Amino acid sequence: MDGMSLLKRIKQQRNLHFMVLPGMAWMLVFCYVPMIWLVISFKEYDITKPMWDSPWVGLFHFKEIFSDDRFWGVIKNTLGISFYKLIAAFPIPVIFALFLNELKNIKFKRTIQTISYLPHFISWAIFGGILLNWLSTTGLVNNIMVALNIQNERILYNSDPRYFWWIAVISDVWKELGWNAIIYLCAISGIDLNLYDAAHVDGAGRFKKMWHITVQSIRPTIAILFILAVSNVFNGSFEQIFVIRNSMNLPASETIDIFVYNMGISQGRFSYSTAVILLRSVLSLLFLLMANYASGKLTGESLF
Protein backbone atom coordinates (compact mmCIF):
# COMPACT_ATOMS: atom_id res chain seq x y z
CA MET A 1 0.00 0.00 0.00
CA ASP A 2 1.21 3.54 -0.53
CA GLY A 3 1.62 6.18 2.14
CA MET A 4 -1.49 8.09 1.28
CA SER A 5 -3.82 5.21 1.69
CA LEU A 6 -2.14 4.21 4.93
CA LEU A 7 -2.76 7.65 6.36
CA LYS A 8 -6.28 7.48 5.11
CA ARG A 9 -6.79 4.13 6.71
CA ILE A 10 -5.42 5.36 10.00
CA LYS A 11 -7.74 8.29 9.86
CA GLN A 12 -10.61 6.02 9.10
CA GLN A 13 -9.69 3.77 11.99
CA ARG A 14 -8.86 6.58 14.37
CA ASN A 15 -11.30 5.30 16.95
CA LEU A 16 -9.51 2.00 17.10
CA HIS A 17 -6.14 3.72 17.28
CA PHE A 18 -7.37 5.83 20.17
CA MET A 19 -8.08 2.59 21.99
CA VAL A 20 -4.64 1.15 21.25
CA LEU A 21 -2.42 4.17 21.82
CA PRO A 22 -2.90 4.47 25.60
CA GLY A 23 -1.54 0.94 25.89
CA MET A 24 1.44 1.90 23.79
CA ALA A 25 2.02 4.95 25.98
CA TRP A 26 1.87 2.83 29.11
CA MET A 27 4.45 0.47 27.68
CA LEU A 28 6.64 3.36 26.66
CA VAL A 29 6.75 4.63 30.23
CA PHE A 30 6.79 1.46 32.26
CA CYS A 31 8.69 -0.86 29.94
CA TYR A 32 10.74 1.07 27.44
CA VAL A 33 12.08 3.74 29.77
CA PRO A 34 13.53 1.16 32.19
CA MET A 35 14.77 -0.78 29.18
CA ILE A 36 17.25 2.02 28.44
CA TRP A 37 19.08 0.52 31.38
CA LEU A 38 19.98 -2.52 29.30
CA VAL A 39 22.84 -0.48 27.84
CA ILE A 40 24.75 -1.23 31.02
CA SER A 41 25.53 -4.62 29.50
CA PHE A 42 27.92 -2.68 27.27
CA LYS A 43 29.25 -0.67 30.20
CA GLU A 44 30.90 -1.32 33.52
CA TYR A 45 28.14 -0.03 35.73
CA ASP A 46 28.83 1.05 39.26
CA ILE A 47 25.73 1.66 41.35
CA THR A 48 27.38 4.47 43.26
CA LYS A 49 27.64 6.56 40.11
CA PRO A 50 25.03 7.73 37.61
CA MET A 51 24.49 5.19 34.89
CA TRP A 52 25.67 7.33 31.99
CA ASP A 53 28.94 8.09 33.76
CA SER A 54 30.11 4.49 33.82
CA PRO A 55 32.65 3.57 31.15
CA TRP A 56 31.77 1.75 27.94
CA VAL A 57 33.33 -1.67 27.64
CA GLY A 58 31.80 -2.83 24.36
CA LEU A 59 31.22 -6.52 24.11
CA PHE A 60 33.46 -7.36 27.05
CA HIS A 61 30.72 -8.97 29.14
CA PHE A 62 29.44 -11.00 26.22
CA LYS A 63 32.92 -12.34 25.51
CA GLU A 64 33.14 -13.22 29.16
CA ILE A 65 29.87 -15.15 28.95
CA PHE A 66 30.86 -17.13 25.89
CA SER A 67 34.31 -17.91 27.20
CA ASP A 68 32.80 -19.44 30.34
CA ASP A 69 32.46 -23.13 29.64
CA ARG A 70 29.85 -23.42 32.36
CA PHE A 71 27.59 -21.22 30.29
CA TRP A 72 27.00 -23.96 27.73
CA GLY A 73 26.08 -26.41 30.47
CA VAL A 74 23.68 -23.80 31.77
CA ILE A 75 22.10 -23.41 28.34
CA LYS A 76 21.81 -27.16 28.04
CA ASN A 77 20.04 -27.50 31.38
CA THR A 78 17.73 -24.57 30.75
CA LEU A 79 16.71 -25.81 27.32
CA GLY A 80 16.54 -29.41 28.53
CA ILE A 81 14.14 -28.65 31.34
CA SER A 82 12.10 -26.33 29.13
CA PHE A 83 11.93 -28.92 26.37
CA TYR A 84 10.69 -31.55 28.83
CA LYS A 85 8.16 -29.03 30.04
CA LEU A 86 6.99 -28.26 26.50
CA ILE A 87 6.49 -31.95 25.84
CA ALA A 88 4.94 -32.91 29.16
CA ALA A 89 3.83 -29.87 31.10
CA PHE A 90 2.30 -28.03 28.16
CA PRO A 91 -0.20 -30.63 26.86
CA ILE A 92 -1.23 -32.11 30.21
CA PRO A 93 -3.37 -29.13 31.28
CA VAL A 94 -5.07 -29.24 27.88
CA ILE A 95 -5.87 -32.91 28.31
CA PHE A 96 -6.94 -32.30 31.87
CA ALA A 97 -9.32 -29.57 30.73
CA LEU A 98 -10.75 -31.82 28.03
CA PHE A 99 -11.36 -34.67 30.43
CA LEU A 100 -12.72 -32.36 33.08
CA ASN A 101 -15.18 -31.16 30.47
CA GLU A 102 -16.39 -34.71 29.98
CA LEU A 103 -17.41 -35.10 33.61
CA LYS A 104 -21.14 -35.44 33.94
CA ASN A 105 -21.65 -34.33 37.50
CA ILE A 106 -21.33 -30.58 37.51
CA LYS A 107 -20.66 -30.36 41.25
CA PHE A 108 -17.89 -32.93 41.05
CA LYS A 109 -16.42 -31.09 38.10
CA ARG A 110 -16.38 -27.78 39.92
CA THR A 111 -14.89 -29.35 43.03
CA ILE A 112 -12.04 -30.96 41.12
CA GLN A 113 -11.54 -27.75 39.19
CA THR A 114 -11.17 -25.77 42.41
CA ILE A 115 -9.04 -28.31 44.22
CA SER A 116 -6.64 -28.76 41.33
CA TYR A 117 -5.81 -25.09 41.24
CA LEU A 118 -4.99 -24.81 44.94
CA PRO A 119 -1.30 -25.80 44.76
CA HIS A 120 -0.68 -22.77 42.56
CA PHE A 121 -1.07 -20.65 45.69
CA ILE A 122 1.65 -22.45 47.60
CA SER A 123 4.99 -20.73 47.18
CA TRP A 124 7.82 -22.83 45.81
CA ALA A 125 9.69 -22.39 49.08
CA ILE A 126 6.95 -24.31 50.87
CA PHE A 127 5.91 -26.60 48.06
CA GLY A 128 9.55 -27.51 47.43
CA GLY A 129 9.92 -28.38 51.10
CA ILE A 130 7.01 -30.83 50.88
CA LEU A 131 8.35 -32.26 47.63
CA LEU A 132 11.81 -32.81 49.11
CA ASN A 133 10.29 -34.49 52.16
CA TRP A 134 8.54 -36.90 49.81
CA LEU A 135 11.76 -37.54 47.90
CA SER A 136 13.94 -38.18 50.96
CA THR A 137 15.10 -41.67 51.87
CA THR A 138 12.34 -42.02 54.42
CA GLY A 139 9.82 -40.19 52.29
CA LEU A 140 6.67 -41.21 50.52
CA VAL A 141 8.22 -42.03 47.15
CA ASN A 142 10.74 -44.43 48.64
CA ASN A 143 8.08 -45.98 50.88
CA ILE A 144 5.88 -46.71 47.87
CA MET A 145 8.69 -47.96 45.67
CA VAL A 146 10.01 -50.28 48.36
CA ALA A 147 6.55 -51.52 49.31
CA LEU A 148 5.80 -52.32 45.68
CA ASN A 149 9.17 -54.03 45.32
CA ILE A 150 10.11 -51.80 42.43
CA GLN A 151 13.37 -51.04 44.18
CA ASN A 152 15.18 -52.83 47.00
CA GLU A 153 17.18 -49.99 48.41
CA ARG A 154 16.11 -46.54 49.42
CA ILE A 155 17.32 -44.02 46.88
CA LEU A 156 18.34 -40.43 47.55
CA TYR A 157 16.33 -39.22 44.57
CA ASN A 158 17.26 -35.60 44.70
CA SER A 159 20.98 -36.36 44.69
CA ASP A 160 21.06 -37.82 41.22
CA PRO A 161 21.36 -35.47 38.21
CA ARG A 162 19.65 -38.11 36.06
CA TYR A 163 16.37 -37.65 37.89
CA PHE A 164 16.52 -33.90 38.22
CA TRP A 165 14.83 -32.76 35.01
CA TRP A 166 11.98 -35.14 35.66
CA ILE A 167 11.61 -33.98 39.23
CA ALA A 168 11.45 -30.41 37.96
CA VAL A 169 8.87 -31.21 35.29
CA ILE A 170 6.64 -33.49 37.34
CA SER A 171 6.55 -31.16 40.31
CA ASP A 172 5.76 -28.28 37.97
CA VAL A 173 2.84 -30.18 36.44
CA TRP A 174 1.63 -31.17 39.88
CA LYS A 175 1.68 -27.61 41.13
CA GLU A 176 0.39 -25.75 38.08
CA LEU A 177 -1.89 -28.27 36.38
CA GLY A 178 -5.19 -26.82 37.53
CA TRP A 179 -4.07 -23.24 37.16
CA ASN A 180 -2.87 -23.70 33.60
CA ALA A 181 -6.06 -25.53 32.69
CA ILE A 182 -8.22 -22.52 33.59
CA ILE A 183 -7.55 -20.77 30.32
CA TYR A 184 -8.58 -23.84 28.31
CA LEU A 185 -11.69 -24.31 30.40
CA CYS A 186 -12.49 -20.72 29.62
CA ALA A 187 -11.99 -21.38 25.92
CA ILE A 188 -14.13 -24.52 26.06
CA SER A 189 -16.91 -22.58 27.71
CA GLY A 190 -17.10 -20.43 24.61
CA ILE A 191 -17.88 -23.31 22.27
CA ASP A 192 -21.24 -23.22 20.58
CA LEU A 193 -23.29 -26.09 22.02
CA ASN A 194 -25.20 -26.42 18.77
CA LEU A 195 -22.04 -27.84 17.22
CA TYR A 196 -22.25 -30.85 19.52
CA ASP A 197 -25.89 -31.36 18.74
CA ALA A 198 -25.21 -31.19 15.04
CA ALA A 199 -22.35 -33.65 15.34
CA HIS A 200 -24.56 -35.99 17.32
CA VAL A 201 -27.11 -35.95 14.59
CA ASP A 202 -24.30 -36.82 12.17
CA GLY A 203 -23.53 -39.86 14.33
CA ALA A 204 -20.22 -38.70 15.78
CA GLY A 205 -19.01 -40.60 18.84
CA ARG A 206 -17.70 -39.09 22.00
CA PHE A 207 -14.03 -39.02 21.13
CA LYS A 208 -14.77 -37.80 17.66
CA LYS A 209 -16.62 -34.85 19.12
CA MET A 210 -13.87 -34.23 21.60
CA TRP A 211 -11.36 -34.09 18.80
CA HIS A 212 -13.34 -32.46 16.04
CA ILE A 213 -15.29 -29.96 18.04
CA THR A 214 -13.67 -29.27 21.41
CA VAL A 215 -10.03 -29.46 20.35
CA GLN A 216 -10.61 -27.69 17.04
CA SER A 217 -12.50 -24.90 18.77
CA ILE A 218 -9.81 -24.19 21.30
CA ARG A 219 -7.00 -24.65 18.79
CA PRO A 220 -6.31 -20.90 18.51
CA THR A 221 -5.83 -20.70 22.27
CA ILE A 222 -3.54 -23.71 22.28
CA ALA A 223 -1.50 -22.31 19.39
CA ILE A 224 -1.12 -18.87 20.97
CA LEU A 225 -0.13 -20.29 24.34
CA PHE A 226 2.31 -22.64 22.66
CA ILE A 227 4.01 -19.76 20.88
CA LEU A 228 4.29 -17.93 24.19
CA ALA A 229 5.60 -21.07 25.90
CA VAL A 230 8.29 -21.44 23.24
CA SER A 231 9.41 -17.88 23.82
CA ASN A 232 9.72 -18.79 27.45
CA VAL A 233 12.17 -21.67 27.07
CA PHE A 234 15.11 -19.60 28.26
CA ASN A 235 13.40 -18.68 31.51
CA GLY A 236 14.15 -21.51 33.87
CA SER A 237 11.69 -21.10 36.71
CA PHE A 238 14.04 -19.61 39.25
CA GLU A 239 12.08 -20.14 42.43
CA GLN A 240 11.44 -23.78 41.69
CA ILE A 241 14.98 -24.70 40.72
CA PHE A 242 16.45 -22.63 43.51
CA VAL A 243 14.59 -24.68 46.09
CA ILE A 244 15.23 -28.17 44.76
CA ARG A 245 18.79 -27.89 43.49
CA ASN A 246 21.78 -28.94 45.58
CA SER A 247 25.47 -29.57 45.05
CA MET A 248 24.89 -33.18 44.01
CA ASN A 249 22.34 -32.54 41.27
CA LEU A 250 24.12 -29.38 40.14
CA PRO A 251 25.27 -30.83 36.79
CA ALA A 252 21.61 -30.96 35.78
CA SER A 253 20.15 -28.15 37.85
CA GLU A 254 22.15 -25.06 37.04
CA THR A 255 19.91 -22.97 34.78
CA ILE A 256 20.26 -19.46 33.37
CA ASP A 257 18.40 -17.83 36.23
CA ILE A 258 20.55 -19.55 38.80
CA PHE A 259 23.64 -18.67 36.80
CA VAL A 260 22.66 -15.00 36.68
CA TYR A 261 21.96 -15.09 40.38
CA ASN A 262 25.24 -16.77 41.29
CA MET A 263 27.55 -15.00 38.90
CA GLY A 264 25.94 -11.61 38.89
CA ILE A 265 23.45 -10.55 41.46
CA SER A 266 24.93 -12.21 44.52
CA GLN A 267 28.25 -10.61 43.63
CA GLY A 268 26.91 -7.23 42.62
CA ARG A 269 28.03 -7.67 38.99
CA PHE A 270 25.15 -5.73 37.49
CA SER A 271 26.61 -5.25 34.03
CA TYR A 272 27.48 -8.90 33.66
CA SER A 273 24.11 -10.20 34.80
CA THR A 274 22.35 -7.64 32.61
CA ALA A 275 24.38 -8.88 29.66
CA VAL A 276 23.23 -12.45 30.29
CA ILE A 277 19.64 -11.28 30.63
CA LEU A 278 19.86 -9.23 27.43
CA LEU A 279 21.31 -12.18 25.58
CA ARG A 280 18.52 -14.36 26.87
CA SER A 281 15.90 -11.82 25.79
CA VAL A 282 17.31 -11.66 22.28
CA LEU A 283 17.29 -15.45 22.01
CA SER A 284 13.74 -15.56 23.37
CA LEU A 285 12.61 -13.06 20.79
CA LEU A 286 14.17 -15.15 18.03
CA PHE A 287 12.44 -18.27 19.31
CA LEU A 288 9.14 -16.45 19.54
CA LEU A 289 9.38 -15.16 15.99
CA MET A 290 10.26 -18.63 14.72
CA ALA A 291 7.43 -20.27 16.64
CA ASN A 292 5.05 -17.60 15.44
CA TYR A 293 6.07 -18.15 11.85
CA ALA A 294 5.87 -21.93 12.14
CA SER A 295 2.50 -21.77 13.84
CA GLY A 296 1.16 -19.45 11.18
CA LYS A 297 2.23 -21.86 8.47
CA LEU A 298 1.08 -25.03 10.22
CA THR A 299 -2.07 -24.06 12.06
CA GLY A 300 -2.96 -20.72 10.59
CA GLU A 301 -2.76 -19.20 14.05
CA SER A 302 -0.17 -16.54 14.84
CA LEU A 303 0.29 -13.51 17.00
CA PHE A 304 0.70 -11.20 14.04
Partner 1 sequence: MSNVLKRFICLKLAVLLTAALLAGCAQSAPKKNQTEGPVSEKAAKTSEDNKVLDPDVPGWKLDTSPVTFKWFLDANWYKYEWNTPVSRYVTEKTGVTINFDVPTGNPNDKLTTLIASNSLPDILSVGFWQPNFKKLMESGMVYALNELADEYDPYFYKVAGDATLKWYKQPDGNTYCMPNEAYTAAQMEETGVTNANQTFLVRKDIYEEIGRPDMRTPEGFINALQMLKESYSTYKGRTIYPLYVQGGNSTVGCYGLEEMLMNFLAIPYEKDGKVYDRYADPEYIRWLKTFRRAYEMNLITMEFFVDTAPQVEQKINNADYFCMIQEWTGVAASIPSMSKDDPDIVYMAVDGPSNSRLEPARVYAGSMTGWLPVFISKNCSKADRAIRFLSYWASEEGQRDFFLGRKGETWDNIDGKDQLKPAVVNDLNTLSFDDFAAKYGAADTYWMLRNPVSVYKWRPFKIPALQQMVDWANEHADFSSGYVKELNPSGNSPEGIAFSKIRSVWGQTLPKLLTAGSDEEFDKLWDDFIEKRDELGFDIVQEYMQKQLEVFKEKLEN
Partner 2 sequence: MDSMGKARGKSRYYPTSLFDICNVAIMLLIGFSTIYPVWFIFVNSIAGADEALTTSVNWWPKTLYLGNYLAVFKDGGIANAFLISVLRTVTATFIHIFFTGMVAYGLSKKYLAGRKIYMLIGIVTMLFQGGLIPTFLLIKNLGMYDRFIVYIIPAMFNFYNLIIFASFFNSLPQSLEESAKVDGAKEFLIFTRIIIPCSKAVFATLALFVGVYNWNDYFMGVMYIDNDKLRPIQTVLYKIVSESAASVIQQQAMEALGKRISPDSIKFAAMVIATLPIVLVYPFLQKYFVKGLMMGSLKG
Of 18-47, binders to partner 1 (CB under 8 A) are 18-19, 21-22, 25-26, 28-29, 32-33, 36, 46-47
Q: Is residue 36 within the footprint of partner 2 (CB under 8 A)?
A: yes
- Which region, judged by CB under 8 A, interacts with partner 1, from 76-84, 95-103, 185-193, 244-252? 244-252
Q: Is residue 58 within the footprint of partner 1 (CB under 8 A)?
A: no
Q: Quote the CA–CA distance of 256 and 244 in Å, as a whole number.
A: 15
Q: Is residue 263 within the footprint of partner 1 (CB under 8 A)?
A: yes
Q: Is residue 113 within the footprint of partner 1 (CB under 8 A)?
A: no
Find the binder of partner 1 among 1, 3, 11, 53 (CB under 8 A). 53
Identify what 50 binds: partner 1, partner 2, none; CB under 5 to 8 Å per kind.
partner 1
Q: Is residue 68 within the footprint of partner 1 (CB under 8 A)?
A: yes
176 near 120, Cβ under 8 Å? yes
214 near 232, Cβ under 8 Å? no
Burial track 148-163 (b if 16+ CB lie within 10 A, e otherwise): eeeeeeebebbeeeeb
Of 147-186, binders to partner 1 (CB under 8 A) are 156, 158-159
Question: Whose Cβ is closer to partner 1: residue 114's or residue 133's?
Answer: 133
Find the binder of partner 1 among 262, 281, 299, 302 (CB under 8 A). 262
Question: Whose Cβ is closer to partner 1: residue 93's or residue 128's?
Answer: 128
Identify what 215 binds: partner 2, partner 1, none; CB under 5 to 8 Å per kind.
none
Question: Whose Cβ is closer to partner 1: residue 249's or residue 295's?
Answer: 249
User: Which residues here bind partner 1, judged by CB under 8 A?
Assistant: 15, 18-19, 21-22, 25-26, 28-29, 32-33, 36, 46-53, 68, 70, 128-129, 132-133, 136-138, 156, 158-159, 243, 245-248, 250-251, 262-263, 266-269, 272
